[in-house]
Amino acid sequence: MRLGGRRTSDNVDDRRGKGSVGKGTLGIGGVIIVGIIVWLMGGNPMDVAQQFLNNGVGTETAYTPSPQEEEAATFAKTILAGTEDIWTEIFAQNGLKYVPPRMVLFSNATRSGCGNASSSTGPFYCPVDQTLYIDLSFFDQMKDQLNAGGDFAYAYVIAHEVGHHVQNLLGTIDKVHNQQQRMSQKDANQLNVRLELQADFYAGVWANHDNKRFGSIEDGDIEEGLNAASQIGDDRLQMEAQGYTVPDSFNHGTSAQRNRWLKKGLDTGDMSAGDTFSVPQSQL
């Protein structure tokens, strides 16, 4: 992708190296309990209070990212800025106001408005705090384990999560979650597939407009994105993990479906063409 000279987003909380426990996470009650334990063991509880006030409770270790990781962080911030520019414009064209999400960069584990998160969960969007969470090591996993490397493939992952933010702003996520509460697990999974495929479509819409505005797409980029969509289909991942598929458990879509909806967004750039909820199941 051509990203030279592009701005980076300020809506980023960089928690790399900070772990899942931040300063002061014990709270006053926790400090008091620790102080009592220290007192019972013959220590001075005031030392605990003083440490809490001066340094906070919790552990932070010095963290120095590698040049490659820092490059990935700058890339992620640049892509996020691109989504801010494009979706602000698209929303305005439809008489709406776009409120950008925040993005948290973390390593190993962190906390979100939707609960604890770890590297193993992969990138995700939390509608509670309207924030994307990503451990940048996921890009290495895409390249080394999923055979889905490439800068546009990584951009697609970020744009997909931003697509969920778009759904959140439009009320789609709340509507889907309300419907799922009254459904069987099988039907709820099928509805979630539609939600995920629309996020893929929105990622394509973003890429279409980003390229028109910035000339960002280079030869091979589209192929990288479509390959990534195919590599992370439920059917492919299940087959590789266990040697068979369980379609009723799919909740993101098959490789063919994810590829199809991302491509439709790329080709049309038309936000209104992504109604995955009215399409018959057989045509998804």
pLDDT, tens only, 170-229: 999 999 999 999 999 999 999 999 999 999 999 999 999 999 999 999 999 999 999 999
Domain residue ranges of the chain, discontinuous segments joined by +? 23-55, 64-283
What SS3 class is residue 279? coil
Is residue 58 a contact partner of residue 26, using CB atoms and an 8 Å limit?
yes
pTM of the model: 0.85
Helix (H) or strand (E) holding 117: strand 115-118
The Cα–Cα gap between 53 and 177 comes to 42
Predicted local confidence at residue 19, as pLDDT: 62
Q: What pLDDT is attached to residue 91?
A: 98
Phi, psi (5° rounding) for residue 21? -115, 120
Q: In what order do the strands lie in the sheet containing 124-126?
A: 12-14, 102-105, 131-134, 124-126
Residues of the chain with pLDDT under 50: 21-42, 45, 47-59
pLDDT score at 44: 52
